[in-house]
Amino acid sequence: MLFETPRLLVRALGETDFSDIWRLQSDPETMRYIRPPETNPEAVRDRLQKWEQYAQKCPGLGVFAIEMKGDNFAGYCTARHVDFNPDTGEFEIGYTLSPEYWG
C-alpha cells in the first residue's frame, strides 16, 4: 500500500488489476475526456506492463490503484512525468474513476 485516507487505499497496480483497468479503458463514457476507448485487451496488458516498468525506473511515481475501504476497485490515479518520459522534467497527475464513483 502506498498510502491510505479514512475512505481510500492507494496501492501499486498489478496484473490482477487487468480486468478492472480493461473495464475502464474500454468504456467510451469513462474515456470520453482522456482518449478513445481501447478495443484491444492486449493493448491494455501492454500498457500495464509499461506502467510497471516506469514505476521501477522512477520510484514513487507511476500509476496506482484506488480502492474504497471495504469495497472494490474504484479507479486509478497517476503521478508521472509527461508521456512517462523523465527527460521532459515535467510532471502531471491524473485519475480515472469507475462510473459508480462519479459525483
Q: What is the CATH number of the domain that holds 35?
A: 3.40.630.30
**41: which 3 cell numbers?**
485487451
What's residue 71's pLDDT? 81
Q: Report long-range pairs for 84-89 (Cβ below 8 Å, ≥24 apart).
A: 84/50, 84/51, 84/54, 86/57, 86/58
**How many distinct structural domains can be found in the chain?**
1
Which amino acid is residue 36, in one-letter code? P
Which tens digit of pLDDT belongs to each residue from 9-38?
A: 999 998 899 999 999 999 999 999 999 999
Residue 54 contacts residue 61 (beta carbons within 8 Å): yes
Task: For cell 520510484, name the residue.
Answer: 59
pTM as predicted: 0.92
User: Using one digit for the tens of pLDDT, what is the confidence trace for 56-96?
Assistant: 999 999 999 999 998 889 999 999 999 999 999 999 999 99
Which domain, by its residues, includes 97? 3-101
